[in-house]
Structure 1
């Protein structure tokens, strides 16, 4: 789990670690969380949720980027919870977020679902918290001087 302010390099690190895992023969998938929830919603509405979930059978590492940037509806939150629960202790999961766990209720409207999801995500996790200024803002300000 990589947390911290926007622009502190979480996505770059997650991407680099995912690429390194690929180079070492691991099957990796990378999703923006909002895109994954959209795909889950579509698969559920089309009656193809089982087929969608089966696509992850051989995947070793799933990178979920930008957890918390866009809140989702109740169904999307429940579908994402279901998927992460399936992966729990079966797959490696890397999540980037600009929110602390205590703020995840903003994305998942149900506090019990949020607590259960956080419980699964942090159980065996290494949490890296990035602090400091945004690289992009810092770089833009240095160019103005």
Structure 2
């Protein structure tokens, strides 16, 4: 089990509400909600969770709108709730991911303010499990 999923399960066992989302899937849901005029409702639903886990920032890029909505969610979480973000990239390599490069520094500031940044440069969990299964 991955560390972020383990943290989510532990939070659930402590009675917290947890929302686990792949970052790109969440950004697509937000775009669809905007198109369906239900963005406010979706954002309120996200805000209700005690812990938001955003998985896999760094595998795909975000358009300007998706970048701005993701920033709003992260900025809100930094003031009101807990967030876990997983990424395969150091913050210094986030610039190509977001069309709105002006807000990247602010997003990183929100993520790192009063936080614990864990740099886990180990072998991939999935790769390890695959190798074990082949033995």
SS in 2 for 1:65: strand
Superposition misfits of 4+ residues, deviation over 2 angstroms: 132-145
Q: How many matched pairs?
A: 135
Between the aligned partners of 1:45 and 1:62, the Cα distance in structure 2 is 23
SS in 2 for 1:30: strand
1:30-69 aligned at under 5 Å gives the runs 30-69=20-59
SS in 2 for 1:88: helix
- Residues 1:79 and 2:57 are matched in the alignment: no
SS in 2 for 1:124: coil
1:89 pairs with one of 79, 87, 98: 79
1:1-145 aligned at under 5 Å gives the runs 12-137=2-127
CA contact (8 A) 2:30 2:39 kept: yes
Aligned-residue offset at 1:46: 1.1
Choose between structure 1 and 2 for higher RCO, CA contacts under 8 A separated by at least 6 residues. Answer: 1
Q: Is the alpha carbon distance of 1:27 and 1:139 closer, same or farther for their aligned partners in structure 2, counting shifts above 3 Å?
A: closer
Structure-1-length-normalised TM-score: 0.84
CA contact (8 A) 1:29 1:63 kept: yes
**Gaps (5+ residues) in structure 2?**
none
Structure-2-length-normalised TM-score: 0.89
SS in 2 for 1:62: strand
CA contact (8 A) 2:78 2:113 kept: no
Between the aligned partners of 2:48 and 2:128, the Cα distance in structure 1 is 40
SS in 1 for 2:69: helix
Between the aligned partners of 1:115 and 1:99, the Cα distance in structure 2 is 15
Between the aligned partners of 2:38 and 2:133, the Cα distance in structure 1 is 50
**Gaps (5+ residues) in structure 1?**
1-8
